Amino acid sequence: MRKLDGGGGKPAKLLVCVNPISGSNKPCCGGRGSERLAEALEAGVRARRIDVAVERIHCLNKCHDGPSMRFAPGGSFLLGVQDGDLPAILDVLEARCGTRPAEDGLPFGAFYPGG
Ligand code: FES
């Protein structure tokens, strides 16, 4: 995976290109497995309750370097993402975005004696 640095700060979204249609001289991220990557990232964000949205979009204009992703708004591009990169991407998202409380309102792993 190659990273092109953009703005820092807390991203609100991770944009994942899942474009399935290649152009006349352009490859497409969908043809390189980006749907599978998006599904795995969505599952990882849910499981770890990371406070960020994963949004599937159609093209980040980095078609030759895909699968392509970008922290948004205005953040770094992640290019040539492979399955093995996903744990590190989730770690970065968790560190920069934090986590949501559990749906029952209790923090993750909370224990209340006698409750
Ligand atoms: S098809 Fe993914 S960046 Fe263009």
pLDDT in tens, 14-66: 999 999 998 878 899 999 999 999 999 999 999 999 999 999 999 999 999 99
**Cα–Cα dist 107/73, whole Å:** 28
Instruction: Please report which helix (H) or strand (E) contains residue 70, including its range.
Output: strand 68-72
- pTM of the entire predicted model: 0.86
84 CB-near residues (< 8 Å, 6+ apart):
none
At 6-26, the pLDDT tens digits run 767 889 999 999 999 988 788
Q: What is the best residue among 4, 14, 28, 70 to mutate for testing ligand 1's pocket, by most ligand atoms within 8 Å of CB?
A: 28
User: How many beta carbons lie within 10 A of that of residue 110, not counting itself?
Assistant: 11
Domains and CATH numbers, the chain: 2-97 (3.40.30.10)
SS3 89: helix
Residues with a CB atom less than 6 Å from ligand 1: 17, 19, 28-29, 59-63, 66, 68
